[in-house]
């Protein structure tokens, strides 16, 4: 494979092809579509965190002038195969969290629809809610689901613990016995929301033959198609999904909430139905990620060699099983080469919204615990935290705690780059604290399809099926241009709907540039193969005697052809005479996604009067494999860092004792604003992934993993003692300072 510096297109920073439409207001997002004769749908949501639904009567709402349809759980197929997702879209016999959908209406205007909700009669039998993992795991806890048994074991009594997962190696007791120093942290991280700025939105229409079309903002329209079909009891082929531009997702738009309801209301009314969530609904009923309780323990010899590590993790799943505790367990020790460890994770139901994926799902909370412990260990040993990590770091050939042996990985290079970074070698300012932490994410491959269509003037249209959430069209164009040997400007990438392109898994798992990129490269290679055949036919030589270089077919060295090279443009122009249109295609199930490691460090200052922590500087160093469009790689690193900083410093769902979220708006669920943050310095490390033609690893998720512990460790350094729980919000920090002064 070529070295990065040999690339012509890859590694450059051109303007993205969809850019102009996004800076002028032309780009159409989820709520921007309006259809003739369209109705507006609104959802009625449970006012109780836990209640039996005895009766739902929509008749008075339906009788209201301007209301055309109303539905509730009874209008959707319900049997033993009904999925949790279907029950989350519309409650059946129980409302499981405050904000759970229980009915919906469609009316001429959103205002009428909202007033009609007041006319829906619901008879509830309120039940006591269970609101955190400790309460949910206690003996005699209220059960969220009376039929749930841990790991599906029918011999066990019902429990809120949906699953227990374990990862072990060696003899952890022996490992701790060998240690000279053992440290332990016990910490809680509250619920946080992805906080995408665009609320969920969709418009649906269905005809008399049952063929539905859905427009929506999603990270994966093929998944919207199959999930909507599942909830409605329809076949996948009856539903077409057209993705709009997407205003952020971070994992939260990989599932569905509104789409089947809008289709149902359209079916009932015979008219298109648009549904748009309010911000309050987004907070109460979508996302978020798990609140967690984690314990991490690590022991080492005096020289810093870690002899054992263990972790106990409990993750809130919300009202249905499926907390990302598995990936939490699998990532928590991934940066280290260990002989003895044990990890146990718990997936725990509580009466809160069903969690959705959030950027490296499960890893930030788990690694916050372990990286805090590693930091304490470095202090106990009197070692530099980077040196301690270098002494124990995973590298090529290390068996990951979750099983596979790492191929080439960039963790050591990230550590070495940190030690040499000017922000790290520079002494911290007086009265400030510095904290370091490691980050990791697996990244995934999975299925993607792509077409590369050669137009008659030699320009190329790439069509693939991954919504562009942060510049992926530009990355696809760069990889296509590089492969074909043509200028970036001659390639355009379009995101096709479910009928105009082949299947693609979601834009998630940091897979798009890796897996869909692989499909795009292969589709372009297909074009090249066809172009070489056309050239061979034109020159009357064997195709084996034709090469492809710099965007043109040339005779192989030594092949005597009395003709000029044929450019992509020449071949395109003559395609009609040489065999017809040229269309490259590829579909892949991409294997070998490359793990991405990072090191982050922060300098913070704590105001001891108010408890406010200011981030003075933040540096992210991460292995991208190869940075296809470095500006968007930096953007992922910076954006993930600031999301992580928000989680570390401020963001949390605040519940009252009845399970009602008290801060369901951006005023009180305070995400970072520009004036809270410094510039975010980045350094991209490039250790190419051997499983991708250009070495791509995927970069989107790792950036959010390390900031939690880096911030906690920096605060520890500034304060002189550790606050284990997050967020490090002014009230918590102030209380800890006061308690410390009293002690």
Partner 1 sequence: MSRVHVTLSVNGEPREMLCEAHQSLLDALRDELGMTGTKEGCATGDCGACSVLADGRLVCSCLMLGVEAEGMDITTIEGIAQGSELHVVQRKFLEAAALQCGICTPGFIVAAKALLDQNPNPDETTIRYWLAGNLCRCTGYDKIVRAVQDAAQELAYEA
Q: Which residues are near partner 1 by CB under 8 A?
A: 13, 15-16, 18-20, 22-29, 31-32, 34, 109, 111, 194-199, 245-250, 276, 278-279, 469-471, 629, 631-632, 634-636, 638-643, 665-667, 671-677, 679-680
Phi, psi (5° rounding) for residue 443?
A: 70, 155
Nearest-approach distance from CB 26 to partner 1, in angstroms = 7
Nearest-approach distance from CB 358 to partner 1, in angstroms = 11
Cα separation, 654 vs 656, in Å, equals 7
Phi, psi (5° rounding) for residue 549?
A: -150, 140
Nearest-approach distance from CB 196 to partner 1, in angstroms = 6
Nearest-approach distance from CB 735 to partner 1, in angstroms = 27
Q: Which one, 533 or 663, has the nearer CB to partner 1? A: 663
Cα separation, 98 vs 269, in Å, equals 28
β-pairing, 292-300 vs 181-189, is antiparallel
Nearest-approach distance from CB 400 to partner 1, in angstroms = 29
Residues 41 and 70 sit within 8 Å (Cβ to Cβ)? no
Nearest-approach distance from CB 490 to partner 1, in angstroms = 19
Q: Which one, 233 or 248, has the nearer CB to partner 1? A: 248
Nearest-approach distance from CB 468 to partner 1, in angstroms = 8
Cα separation, 349 vs 346, in Å, equals 10
Residues 6 or more apart in contact with residue 226 via CB below 8 angstroms = 236
Residues 122 and 53 sit within 8 Å (Cβ to Cβ)? yes
Nearest-approach distance from CB 471 to partner 1, in angstroms = 6
Nearest-approach distance from CB 390 to partner 1, in angstroms = 28
Residue 124, phi-psi category: left (phi > 0), alpha (psi -120 to 50), beta (remainder): beta
Cα separation, 599 vs 113, in Å, equals 50
Q: Which one, 96 or 642, has the nearer CB to partner 1? A: 642
Rg (CA), the chain: 27
| Packed helices 385-392 and 363-381: angle between N→C axes, nearest 10 degrees | 110
Q: Which one, 287 or 496, has the nearer CB to partner 1? A: 287
Nearest-approach distance from CB 642 to partner 1, in angstroms = 3
Residues 30 and 286 sit within 8 Å (Cβ to Cβ)? no
Q: Which one, 339 or 676, has the nearer CB to partner 1? A: 676
Q: Which one, 143 or 671, has the nearer CB to partner 1? A: 671
| Packed helices 259-269 and 221-232: angle between N→C axes, nearest 10 degrees | 60
Q: Which one, 43 or 90, has the nearer CB to partner 1? A: 43
Tokens 């072990």 sit on residue = 168
Q: Which one, 1 or 15, has the nearer CB to partner 1? A: 15
Q: Which one, 114 or 416, has the nearer CB to partner 1? A: 114
Cα separation, 81 vs 680, in Å, equals 48
Q: Which one, 247 or 335, has the nearer CB to partner 1? A: 247
Q: Which one, 244 or 290, has the nearer CB to partner 1? A: 244
Q: Which one, 362 or 639, has the nearer CB to partner 1? A: 639
Count of residues for the chain?
743
β-partners of residue 553 are 548, 566
Residues 644 and 192 sit within 8 Å (Cβ to Cβ)? no
β-pairing, 39-45 vs 273-276, is parallel
Phi, psi (5° rounding) for residue 589?
A: -115, 90
Nearest-approach distance from CB 437 to partner 1, in angstroms = 17
Nearest-approach distance from CB 251 to partner 1, in angstroms = 12
Q: Which one, 342 or 711, has the nearer CB to partner 1? A: 711
Cα separation, 569 vs 580, in Å, equals 14
Closest to 644 (Cα-Cα) out of 278, 223, 359, 222: 359
Nearest-approach distance from CB 276 to partner 1, in angstroms = 8
From residue 566, alpha-carbon distances to 121, 391, 538 in Å are: 73, 56, 9
Nearest-approach distance from CB 249 to partner 1, in angstroms = 8
What is the per-residue DSSP string for 246-282?
A: ----TTTTSS-SSHHHHHHHHHHHTS-EEEE--HHHH
Nearest-approach distance from CB 385 to partner 1, in angstroms = 24
Q: Which one, 318 or 707, has the nearer CB to partner 1? A: 707
Residues 524 and 585 sit within 8 Å (Cβ to Cβ)? no
Alpha helices by DSSP H, listed for 485-579, are 517-539, 568-573, 575-578
Cα separation, 71 vs 263, in Å, equals 11
Q: Which one, 29 or 312, has the nearer CB to partner 1? A: 29
What DSSP state is assigned to residue 724? Answer: -
Cα separation, 315 vs 161, in Å, equals 10
């Amino acid at each position: 494979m070529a070295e990065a510096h040999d690339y012509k297109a890859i590694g450059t920073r051109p303007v993205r092809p969809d850019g102009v439409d996004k800076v002028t207001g032309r780009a159409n997002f989820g709520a921007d579509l309006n259809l003739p004769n369209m109705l507006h749908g609104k959802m009625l949501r449970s006012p109780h965190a836990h209640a039996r639904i005895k009766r739902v009567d929509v008749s008075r709402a339906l009788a209201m002038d301007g209301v055309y349809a109303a539905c509730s759980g009874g209008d959707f197929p319900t049997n033993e195969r009904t999925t949790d997702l279907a029950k989350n879209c519309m409650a059946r016999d129980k409302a499981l969290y405050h904000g759970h959908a229980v009915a919906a209406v469609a009316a001429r205007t959103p205002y009428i629809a909202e007033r009609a909700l007041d006319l829906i009669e619901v008879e509830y039998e309120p039940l006591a809610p269970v609101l955190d993992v400790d309460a949910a795991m206690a003996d005699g806890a209220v059960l969220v689901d009376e039929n749930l048994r841990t790991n599906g074991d029918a011999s066990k009594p019902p429990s809120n613990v949906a699953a227990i997962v374990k990862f072990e190696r060696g003899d952890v007791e022996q490992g701790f016995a060998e240690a000279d120093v053992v440290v332990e942290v016990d910490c809680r991280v509250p619920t946080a929301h992805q906080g995408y700025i665009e609320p969920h939105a969709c418009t649906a229409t269905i005809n008399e033959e049952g063929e539905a079309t859905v427009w929506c903002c999603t990270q994966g329209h093929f998944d919207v198609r199959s999930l909507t079909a599942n909830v409605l009891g329809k076949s996948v082929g009856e539903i077409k999904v057209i993705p709009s531009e997407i205003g952020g997702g971070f994992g939260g738009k990989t599932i569905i909430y509104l789409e089947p309801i809008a289709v149902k209301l359209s079916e009932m009314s015979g008219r298109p139905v648009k549904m748009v969530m309010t911000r309050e609904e987004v907070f109460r009923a979508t996302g978020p990620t798990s609140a967690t309780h984690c314990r991490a323990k690590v022991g080492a010899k005096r020289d810093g060699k870690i002899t054992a590590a263990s972790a106990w993790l409990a993750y809130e799943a919300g009202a249905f099983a499926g907390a990302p505790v598995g990936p939490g367990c699998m990532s928590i020790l991934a940066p280290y080469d260990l002989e003895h460890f044990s990890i146990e994770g718990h997936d725990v139901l509580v009466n809160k919204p069903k969690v959705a994926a959030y950027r490296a799902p499960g890893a930030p909370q788990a690694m916050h615990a372990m990286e805090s412990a590693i930091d304490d260990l470095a202090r106990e040993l009197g070692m530099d935290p980077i040196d301690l990590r270098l002494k124990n770091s995973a590298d090529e050939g290390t068996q990951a705690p979750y099983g596979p042996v790492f191929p080439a990985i960039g963790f050591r290079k990230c550590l070495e780059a940190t030690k040499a970074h000017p922000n790290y070698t520079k002494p911290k300012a007086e009265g400030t604290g510095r904290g370091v932490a490691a980050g990791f994410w697996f990244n995934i491959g999975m299925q993607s399809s792509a077409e590369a269509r050669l137009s008659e003037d030699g320009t190329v249209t790439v069509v693939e099926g991954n919504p562009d959430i942060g510049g992926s069209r530009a990355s696809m164009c760069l990889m296509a241009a590089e492969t074909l040997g043509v200028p970036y400007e001659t390639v355009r990438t379009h995101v096709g709907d479910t009928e105009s392109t082949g299947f693609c898994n979601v834009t998630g798992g940091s897979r798009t540039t890796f897996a869909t990129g692989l499909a795009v490269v292969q589709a372009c290679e297909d074009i090249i193969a066809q172009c070489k055949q056309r050239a061979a036919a034109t020159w009357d030589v064997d195709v084996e005697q034709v090469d492809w270089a710099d965007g043109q077919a040339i005779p192989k060295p030594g092949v005597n052809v009395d003709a000029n090279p044929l450019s992509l443009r020449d071949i395109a122009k003559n395609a009609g005479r040489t065999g017809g249109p040229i269309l490259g295609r590829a579909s892949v199930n991409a294997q070998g996604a490359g793990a991405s490691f990072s090191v982050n460090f922060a300098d913070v200052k704590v105001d001891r009067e108010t408890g406010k922590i200011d981030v003075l500087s933040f540096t992210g160093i991460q292995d991208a494999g190869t940075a296809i469009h470095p500006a968007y790689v930096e953007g992922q690193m910076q954006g993930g860092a600031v999301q992580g900083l928000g989680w570390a410093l401020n963001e949390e769902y605040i519940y009252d004792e009845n399970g009602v979220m008290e801060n369901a708006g951006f005023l009180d669920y305070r995400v970072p604003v520009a004036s809270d943050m410094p510039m975010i310095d980045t350094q991209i490390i490039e250790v190419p992934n051997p499983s991708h033609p250009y070495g791509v690893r995927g970069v989107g998720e790792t950036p959010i993993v390390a900031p939690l512990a880096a911030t906690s460790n920096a605060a520890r350094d500034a304060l002189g003692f550790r606050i284990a729980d997050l967020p490090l919000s002014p009230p918590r920090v102030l209380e800890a300072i006061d308690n410390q002064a009293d002690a």
